[in-house]
Amino acid sequence: MSGVRVRGLAVLASDGRKLFGPNDFDMEPGTVTALTGPSGSGKTTLMRLLLGQRPPGATVEGALTVAGHDVLALDPAALRRFRRTAVAYVAQDPGSALNPLLRVRTLLAEVAADRASIPETLRLVGLDETFLSRRSGTLSGGQQRRVALARALVRRTGVLVLDEPFAGLHGALRTEIAALVQRIARERGVAVLLSGHDTATVHGIADQVIELGSAPAVSTAVPPDEGPTGDIVLRATGLTARADGVQILTDVDLELAAGSALAVVGASGAGKTTLARVLAGLHTDAGGTLELHGERTPLGPRGIQLVTQNPRSALNPRRTVAQTIGRPLRRVARVPRADLPRRITDLLTAVDLPADLAPRRPHELSGGQRQRVALARALAAEPAVLICDEITTALDHATATAVLTLLAHLRTRGTTLLVISHDIPLVATFCPYTLVLDQGKVVEYGRTRDLRTAPQTAATRALLA
């Protein structure tokens, strides 16, 4: 069988918790199968099992056949051959699998079944040949996601596994990539398994949809619309940034008042993540001026904390939750060692996580839990400004809403927020004001509700499509 056959597949964690299952389904060549369900329902665990990757310490029950191979019975050498030739996988955090120092040309050439197909494959995912000379570390999150997809496609395997392939992409590009995935399945006879929280896109291309778990109840109460009327906490003027000789940001100005929430939106590659990294002092080739609480400061002052869109790669896999949160408590907030357990518990409670997660490591957490741990770590440094870069892209709608609700409540405690997203409708309820980036420039700024009802630029209208 060249597709996938799943019978009675279930996974139990080392403590006896059921991670998912049992499940039964088939994936035929030329079809698209979609996994949906809330964060923590087992989607990524199931997808990694198709690669023969078992969760550490977990018990796997049932049978799994992929491209004719009994995956769970393969010895290490056979499993390596299987992963090279039979199945391609694009992770939820594709950027972590790309060497930031290598150029796109090299990243594609090292896995391509036919190097002559590299330019065509790059065009398939919406990138032109100029990207071949770019280093992956200089690309936006959406561009890295497309390069990772191109790496999977150039291998020409019979099974393609895509974990959240539409996360971080704006509406028009999301539609293009979805159509591409469907076309690849049909024309190449590939069995595609993907996960996604964008139900309209997923259902539009899937031949079958498998629902895992059930969505939790979520409170959507948020603070009232507050404009930037308080003291200015952060003022940035004339921010610029370059990467590999390419201008990424040009003369970006913004300011944030105490307790305010500003959304920065734009299509993939507009410069959103670069802006976040410039403010946090993580982008070296940058210019402009920054004031924090009215005082001129270098880019990246300690009072600014960044929570990235990929918590799995941002959290040290060797550290427990307690160690992850305790580090900034000790080094930045100077909390006495004797007070650490109480402060760690307080921070976990603040991000709606139980204290019993403290001894776990990142691989034992769901995507939503990892994102909240990343938030808790940032809050441990007691920042004046918290920058959240696409932190809901890989979360189901209920969990994404819960995380944004949490951010809204943090505002009531005085935290100032800069929320980066490509999804205006999602952030509209939580961010009273929105700044639109397009090709590294500010093209529109105003009240979010006004931008939604009367967008003034083509870039804003495309995000609302």
User: Residue 219 domain-assigned?
Assistant: no
Last residue of a domain, one of 153, 179, 211: 211
- Percentage with pLDDT > 70 across the chain: 95
Task: Please report, for residues 234, 385, 423, the alpha-carbon distance to residue 417 in angstroms, rounded to integers and kept in the order given.
Answer: 10, 6, 16
User: Residue 222 domain-assigned?
Assistant: no
Q: What does the pLDDT look like over 456-465, one tens digit per residue? A: 998 888 888 7
Do 205 and 240 belong to one domain?
A: no
Do 310 and 352 belong to one domain?
A: yes
pTM of this prediction exceeds 0.75 = no
User: Residue 226 domain-assigned?
Assistant: no
In this predicted structure, what is the pLDDT of residue 226? 59
Do 395 and 287 belong to one domain?
A: yes
Task: Write the CATH number for 433.
Answer: 3.40.50.300
Domain extent, residue 239, equals 232-464
Do 335 and 447 belong to one domain?
A: yes
Do 171 and 241 belong to one domain?
A: no
User: Domains in the chain: how many in total?
Assistant: 2
Q: What does the pLDDT look like over 92-144, one tens digit per residue? A: 777 777 888 899 999 999 999 888 999 999 998 889 999 999 998 888 877 88
Do 359 and 460 belong to one domain?
A: yes
Mean pLDDT of the residues in the chain: 87
Which residues are 251's β-sheet partners?
A: none
Do 252 and 197 belong to one domain?
A: no
User: Is residue 256 over pLDDT 70?
Assistant: yes
User: Residue 328 domain-assigned?
Assistant: yes
User: Residue 227 domain-assigned?
Assistant: no
The DSSP symbol for 103 reads: B
Do 242 and 379 belong to one domain?
A: yes
Q: What does the pLDDT look like over 315-374, one tens digit per residue? A: 999 999 999 999 999 999 899 999 999 999 999 988 889 999 999 999 888 878 888 899
Contacts of 396-400 with CB under 8 Å at 24 or more apart are 396/36, 396/37, 396/38, 396/39, 396/197, 396/215, 396/368, 397/197, 398/38, 398/215, 398/216, 398/218, 399/38, 399/39, 399/40, 399/216, 399/218, 399/367, 399/368, 400/197, 400/426
User: Residue 339 domain-assigned?
Assistant: yes
User: Residue 115 domain-assigned?
Assistant: yes
Do 202 and 313 belong to one domain?
A: no
Closest listed residue to residue 284, CA positions, set 264, 303, 298, 263: 298
Do 186 and 330 belong to one domain?
A: no
Do 56 and 150 belong to one domain?
A: yes
Do 458 and 335 belong to one domain?
A: yes
User: Is residue 19 over pLDDT 80?
Assistant: no
